[in-house]
Amino acid sequence: MAKYKWTITGESGTHSVCLKHAYLSGSASVLVDESVIYQRPRRWLDHGFEHEFYIDGIICLVRLDIDEDNLFKFRCRLWTDGKLAEAA
């Protein structure tokens, strides 16, 4: 299972964002501060997904998609207020 992590600083402090993705089953979870906020069930054909959520009024968008250079790999990115966030 792949894990991607970021740290976001908001009005109430620092928050962790984590995406867990199972390559074989296609299931995925998005966690904020260790709490699941989105869970996608198994997918036999996994083309990725995107999920929008808010942390302290900050618009966040996590996106998992197939890597354009290698169709057998996935790429995960997080945007906060329209800016690409650096992975932790």
Residues 19-67 pLDDT 10s = 998 866 778 899 999 999 999 887 666 677 789 999 999 999 998 887 7
Q: What per-residue confidence (pLDDT) applies to 56?
A: 92
Q: Decide: 25 and 40 in contact? Cβ < 8 Å.
A: no
Domains, in order of start, for the chain: 2-84 (2.40.128.180)
Question: CA distances (Å), 1 to each of 8, 12, 59, 60, in order?
Answer: 23, 31, 26, 23
- Around Cβ 8, how many Cβ atoms within 10 Å? 19
Per-residue model confidence (pLDDT) at position 46: 62
Q: Which residues, at least 6 apart from 55, have a Cβ–Cβ distance to it below 8 Å?
A: 8, 10, 15, 17, 32, 80
